[in-house]
Amino acid sequence: MRAFAVVPETGKAEVVGADEPGLTGPTDVKLRVLDVGICGTDREIAAGEYGTPPEGDDRLIIGHESVAQVVEVGAGVERLSAGDLVVPSVRRPCPHAYCTACQNDQQDFCYTGDFTERGIKERHGFLAEYIVDEPQYLTKLTPELRDVGVLIEPLTIAEKALTQIWGVQQRLPWACAIDPTSRPSQGCNALVLGAGPVGLLGAMALAESGFRTHVYSREPAGGPRSQLVESFGGRYLSSADHAVDDLPTTMGGIDVVYEATGASKLAFDVLEELGTNGVYVFTGVPGRKHPFEVNGAKIMRNLVLKNQVVFGTVNAGSEAFESAVDRLGRFMTRWPDAVRGLITRRWPLEEVDRLLNDPGPGIKHVVALAE
């Protein structure tokens, strides 16, 4: 079969021939891959900055955002059958019996760091015609979501973040996150940093949860991203028009920040502006950049005197995948054009190299492996 692999040692990234995987045990599920989304992590892996091939292999088949179709199941698989559409999760547990997180199927919270990730860390990914996985890592996708299901994986990042935001906001019984149907009151002003797929999906999830949602990004106001944000009821703020220290006044206070740029300087500048009882979520992984100065005393003073909470979040577990499927379904009912507008273009496998190096403008680029 054909696949797309990266050899980190040599920097080679190309379409390769690979053995078609088959069922090796009763709980295996063989899948035909339909769509694979490409993100910043894939580009970093292709550039040799991130990612590790499986032990004993010098190449890594990339791809971790996907939609696939079941072609064959082992005798012990009950929940899935041929023809079902699924979205595979990314992370697999570490082998250590003392890692409570992995032992409880919550490898997104793995303590040891010895987890693996499909298409990223020591396990081949989904940019291949066929893959094999196990049912506990596969979330069923409704057929109506076939064309946009590739957005599920990036949406799970927001899903996991929101669950944690709600956990924190239990301390503010009036904040809208507790009761999304109540009239927005204090605690409901959200700021999303970045208008890429993770930022925009996060913004939609926040807007759907009752937050007055603002998206802060570089593109000038009035452009396609700003129109997309407005189409789901958000407000677009261009950094060309709004300095970071104006944001609290422009927005009427910042209660929640969902950082989705990986730009560390911007992220910390915005942290200085977080409001009283504010929650700040980091989701971006910055590249290896030079250190920069932050106003540590101001940040620390604010954290204490304003009851602020700052946390980072990575990856997502099966519950987040399941709720992301429900959420994407609701998005499609309310804002179908906005959701479809996130997917810029579908590319054939032969053009992945160009897609990684020079995709041109757009939001989410997808490799279409099969109909």
Would you tell me which residues interact with ligand BGC (CB under 6 A)?
A: 39, 41, 64, 90-91, 117, 120, 153, 314-315
**Cα–Cα dist 213/191, whole Å:** 6
Smallest separation (angstroms) from ligand BGC to the CB of 292: 23
Pick between residue 157 and residue 279 the one whose CB is nearest to ligand BGC: 157
Residue showing tokens 């996907």: 66
The phi and psi torsions of 154 (rounded to 5 degrees) equal -60, -30
Nearer to ligand BGC, 116 or 213 (CB): 116
How many Å apart are CA 238 and CA 135, to the nearest integer? 43
Structure tokens at 342: 């996130």
CB 236 within 8 A of CB 223: no
Nearest 5°: phi and psi at 120?
-130, -55
The residue among 314 and 368 lying less far from ligand BGC, judged by its C-beta, is 314
The smaller minimum CB distance to ligand BGC, of residues 77 and 316, is found at 316
Least gap, CB of 174 to ligand BGC (angstroms): 33
User: Residue 7 pairs with which residues in a beta bridge?
Assistant: 12
Contact 64, 125 (CB under 8 A): yes
In angstroms, what is the minimal distance from the CB of 225 to ligand BGC?
20
Q: Which two tokens stand for residue 206?
A: 């926040």
**Nearest C-alpha neighbor of 208 from the set 158, 257, 250:** 158
Q: What gap in Å lies between CA 357 and CA 258, rounded to an integer? A: 28
Find the shortest distance in angstroms from Cβ 91 to ligand BGC: 6
Do residues 275 and 247 touch, judged by C-beta distance below 8 A?
no
Q: Please, what is the minimum distance in Å from the beta carbon of residue 217 to ligand BGC?
A: 19
* Residue type, position 197, single letter: P
CB of 89 to ligand BGC, least distance (A): 8
d(CA 60, CA 16): 11
Smallest distance, ligand BGC to C-beta of residue 117, A: 5
Q: State the alpha helices, DSSP H only, in 180-291.
A: 197-208, 224-231, 247-251, 264-271
Write out the two tokens for 26: 């009763």
- Cβ nearer to ligand BGC, comparing 158 with 176: 158
77 or 325, CB closer to ligand BGC? 325
Decide whether 40 or 224 has the Cβ nearer to ligand BGC. Answer: 40
> Considering the complex, what minimum distance in angstroms separates the CB of residue 314 from ligand BGC?
5
Q: For ligand BGC, give the closer residue by CB, 125 or 278.
A: 125
Cα separation of the two ends of the chain? 16
